[in-house]
Amino acid sequence: MEISGIISAVVIGVIIGVLGRLVLPGRQRIGVLWTIAVGIVAALLGTAVAAGLGVADTKGVDWIEWLIQIALAAVGVTLLEQFKARR
């Protein structure tokens, strides 16, 4: 992976992670780095799921792929927050 691919993955991870947190009610007690990490993982998994469903490559903006990624980020933030609350 080239440096531009890594940078774009981080930027997209930030966006997906923040959007994932925004769709959840209340305050999430995880840090910025965890938000970025969850966003990157959700973006990668969301792309794979969208490709599996055949909706990853559409004309224009891939809204369904974005929604899948944001939903996965919301689930990831929720799971991480519950895990950290137990500790």
Name the phi and psi angles at 58, rounded to 5.
-125, 170
3 assigned to some structural domain: no
The answer on pLDDT for 75 being more than 90 is yes
Quote the pLDDT of residue 5: 75
42 assigned to some structural domain: yes
45 assigned to some structural domain: yes
pTM of the model: 0.85
47 assigned to some structural domain: yes
The answer on pLDDT for 1 being more than 60 is no
Mean pLDDT of 33-40: 90
- Terminal-to-terminal C-alpha distance of the chain: 35
CA distance 74 to 35: 10
62 assigned to some structural domain: yes
4 assigned to some structural domain: no
Range of the domain at 77: 14-21+28-86
Number of domains composing the chain: 1
User: Residue 34 in contact with residue 41, Cβ under 8 Å?
Assistant: no
Task: Find how far residue 52's CA is from the centre of its chain.
Answer: 17
Quote the pLDDT of residue 68: 92
The answer on pLDDT for 54 being more than 60 is yes
